[in-house]
A = this chain, B = another copy of it.
Amino acid sequence: MRIGELSKRSGFSRDAIRFYERSGLIKAETREADNNYKSYSENAIFTLEIVQDAQAAGMSIDDLTTLIRQLEFQDNDDFDGDAFLAEKIQAVENRIEASNRFLSTLIQAREALKNAPFEHD
């Protein structure tokens, strides 16, 4: 598919997709021979769906690129994928805990506001 369709189906802007491609996160499989247009596979959709969640979880594009590369071909001897994953899992868990704490704070705040909406004179 071309970038327009990928954009529509993934929800990311074309510019965002191009940025991700520049960053190495996704790549066009082929080019249309005559017009030089890029062609993306279904896999790109799949990757972009993960990107949505990953960004919400606070993972950077660079880390995500590392991760995806690692999942696709575990061909880097120097790279300890297991340690990398363990670190990221821990980070996401921590973040979820902090988010839950903050959620509690927000909910408390809402309660406080409900009980005393206009305390000023």
State the A residues within 8 Å of B (CB): 50, 52-54, 56-59, 67, 70-71, 73-75, 81-82, 85-86, 88-89, 92-96, 98-103, 105-107, 109-110, 112-114, 116-120
Minimum CB–CB distance from A28 to chain B (whole Å) comes to 23
Question: By the criterion CB–CB under 8 Å, are A59 and B89 in contact?
Answer: no
Question: By the criterion CB–CB under 8 Å, are B102 and A99 in contact?
Answer: no
Q: A57-B98, A58-B58 are in contact. List 8 more A-B contacts (CB 8 A).
A: A56-B58, A56-B102, A57-B99, A59-B102, A71-B113, A89-B110, A93-B103, A96-B100
**What is the bound-complex CA distance between A103 and B101, given in angstroms?**
18
Knowing A100-B96, A102-B53 touch, does A82 contact B120 (C-beta < 8 A)?
Answer: no
**What is the bound-complex CA distance between A75 and B118, given in angstroms?**
8
CB nearest neighbor in B for A88? B106
**What is the bound-complex CA distance between A59 and B17, given in angstroms?**
24
Question: By the criterion CB–CB under 8 Å, are B98 and A103 in contact?
Answer: no
Question: By the criterion CB–CB under 8 Å, are B112 and A71 in contact?
Answer: yes
Question: By the criterion CB–CB under 8 Å, are B57 and A94 in contact?
Answer: no
Question: By the criterion CB–CB under 8 Å, are A53 and B92 in contact?
Answer: no
Question: By the criterion CB–CB under 8 Å, are A53 and B98 in contact?
Answer: yes
